[in-house]
Structure 1
């Protein structure tokens, strides 16, 4: 493996979020990519050209050689990535494998809204062992609060039906999924949603806080940060009650990682790179809620900027903005070592930049306190919890 130096950033796993489609067939009102003020995606090609994808593969392969990266995950995103024809998707996967696999292990994932699925798609997923993630917010009521089509109609029936087909297709093989991503809404019953997913056979889930910056605030009297923290706590309680450690909930796994017994854990260094349909390279686009900062960032291309140079630029930009620095107002907080200020986009304000507590600060406190209480009530030693919490700082 290539040794890392100042100009060779150390990366265990390179995750490439590949925007193979820059359009969508539905219109989720909370979508950060299309509905938070950044319209640049509409100026890029609606779908990636296979030749452009081949160039992306060569760029990744060269980056693996330059930096000694041994593991790559290409995650196909959009827009809606399944607006591609399945034969084009198959061709893109084949070209990426031909370029990257001689230099690194390669995995594929796709994140879809679940409204499009055909036998040809399932064949392509099987051929290239693609892990399929489906965006679904829960039951019909929860899902249709935000995830409607462009004519304002429900997308729930199609999404649920195709999710059930994917469960049957994967036959319980974890590497294929399907997994789910659900965006929280303070009005939803998260315990019921968790149970509903489990009844469908879903074993991998993620529950996301809605995208917002500090400037956005909350929409009404009942929508509060604490309400979202309680929802995360509800998911944790439902997961704990089921008592099946094979069920993976991303937010729970990240929280409990600090408290697992059995010795220290080495955290994996995962570097996310976003490549758009025209081959331009962007900083992590989950930062879009910090739009007044995000839209000023320079964009490079796979044609003119090697991965090594891009990562050097990214780390300089993130350091300058203080993205990975604990906000000054968080110092001394009992939970600071767990949340580290939360997702950086939720800390942003036009006046204070990223040096703010998360918009969800109160919610994190509710969640972590409930996790502590439930762990201790179920026999986890409180003194070990407190020691691990202090040691995680």
Structure 2
């Protein structure tokens, strides 16, 4: 099976100092050995390797995400160089190329946006809600607030000349922030899409505010609290109860779609794992870089674009484990009634030093509580709709296929 999501690390450093960043602040320090910026020869080689892989597998669409660190630190001309190399290598391919830069937004100006406009590069921006919540975690390395710079960039991105480039906002959940205030602060920037990211952690090093309790006699992890479920339930209800559809929220849209018999576009949900592959600035090919929350070199494959193509990289056991589906989950997950929705959660969140990834997610109890809440909300809504229309509800309480329109790929 081929990859359809390629993360290209244009720059290995960042101008922000975010305390929960999975690249710089958790378990992995390999970023420090990377060149600061991807050399032009590596960019050209990566572009050819990606196009070669797509030509072999012919998916309908592929996404190339320009990432970092902070990718805009590479400068507009280097970004232009990679985009032009990709467009050239793509010649003759029927596969649609979705080219996106994921940025903290602070450096966005007309120089960058004009390059993005010329080369069809969409822009995803990370913003953590209100000024207070954003500046609690997303400050410059000097400690200075970044909020005004990001808002200024979003105001420019929303002007008629550049609006079509606006891919959406990505927000990391912070338990210290009010979920409804966070959602409404994001909504004020008129994003075409939102995504919510739960912080990365493991059983050994739980995410902030999560204190998994002891395992029960059956082996099931017991959570003393459900802080992330409470936060996400409040945000979901605000979104779900809006009189009109305000914005797609990928985490929620995918969960609703799965309950209605559809497929997930969020790597958090569903039985099929992520097909993300990462190219580091030195040309190393790695697994999904959220594995950097586990330990040093957890995403390492030993592959490099000079000596391996992406099919050879895909044979690495780590990629196989990511795509193993329910068969690759622990016994507890396989027996769980919501496994078809949850899919075991993100692989990184299952890690324990003593048995690797053969565990449920450290978010297990929170994810299940959210799933069950959403199931109940959908069921009540559909019964109410059926009564109002004098229609019969299908077995199980659902109208299969009654879902919300989803975008094709997740923001990271």
**1:217–1:51: structure 2 CA closer, same or farther, 3 Å change rule?**
closer
The alignment's TM-score, normalised by the length of structure 2, stands at 0.82
Q: Choose from 25, 32, 35 the match for 1:35.
A: 25
What is the aligned partner in structure 1 of residue 305 from structure 2?
A: 302
Q: Choose from 126, 139, 147 the match for 1:135.
A: 126
What is the aligned partner in structure 2 of residue 149 from structure 1?
A: 140
Higher helix share: 1
> In 2, Cα distance between the equivalents of 1:349 and 1:383?
40
Matched length: 373
SS in 2 for 1:200: coil
> In 2, Cα distance between the equivalents of 1:269 and 1:216?
22
User: Does 1:341 pair with 2:344?
Assistant: yes
Bigger shift: residues 146-155 or 324-333? 324-333
SS in 1 for 2:285: strand
What is the aligned partner in structure 2 of residue 186 from structure 1?
A: 175
Deviation at 1:22, TM superposition (A): 0.4
1:329-368, aligned counterparts within 5 Å?
A: 329-368=332-371
**1:163–1:272: structure 2 CA closer, same or farther, 3 Å change rule?**
same
User: Does 1:276 pair with 2:280?
Assistant: yes
| Structure 1 unmatched runs, 5+ | 1-8, 389-393
Q: Any conservation in 2 of the 1:292–1:350 contact (CA below 8 Å)? A: no
User: Does 1:91 pair with 2:81?
Assistant: yes
> In 2, Cα distance between the equivalents of 1:269 and 1:204?
22
1:1-393, aligned counterparts within 5 Å?
A: 9=1, 11=2, 14-103=4-93, 104-169=95-160, 173=164, 176-217=165-206, 226-245=226-245, 247-260=247-260, 271-291=275-295, 294=298, 297-314=300-317, 318=321, 325-380=328-383, 381=393, 383-385=395-397
> In 2, Cα distance between the equivalents of 1:21 and 1:227?
34
> In 2, Cα distance between the equivalents of 1:360 and 1:310?
29
| Structure 2 unmatched runs, 5+ | 213-223, 266-271, 384-392, 401-412
The alignment's TM-score, normalised by the length of structure 1, stands at 0.86
Q: Any conservation in 1 of the 2:273–2:324 contact (CA below 8 Å)? A: no
**1:39–1:265: structure 2 CA closer, same or farther, 3 Å change rule?**
closer
1:39-77 per-residue CA deviation (whole Å, 9 max, x = no partner) reads 222211111122221111111122223333453211000
CA RMSD of aligned residues (A): 2.9
Q: Any conservation in 1 of the 2:123–2:168 contact (CA below 8 Å)? A: yes
Deviation at 1:384, TM superposition (A): 2.8
SS in 1 for 2:184: helix
What is the aligned partner in structure 2 of residue 5 from structure 1?
A: none
Deviation at 1:383, TM superposition (A): 4.5
**1:180–1:319: structure 2 CA closer, same or farther, 3 Å change rule?**
closer
1:238-263 per-residue CA deviation (whole Å, 9 max, x = no partner) reads 111224446211111211122337xx
> In 1, Cα distance between the equivalents of 2:49 and 2:155?
36
1:352-379 per-residue CA deviation (whole Å, 9 max, x = no partner) reads 2111121111211221122122223323
SS in 1 for 2:201: coil
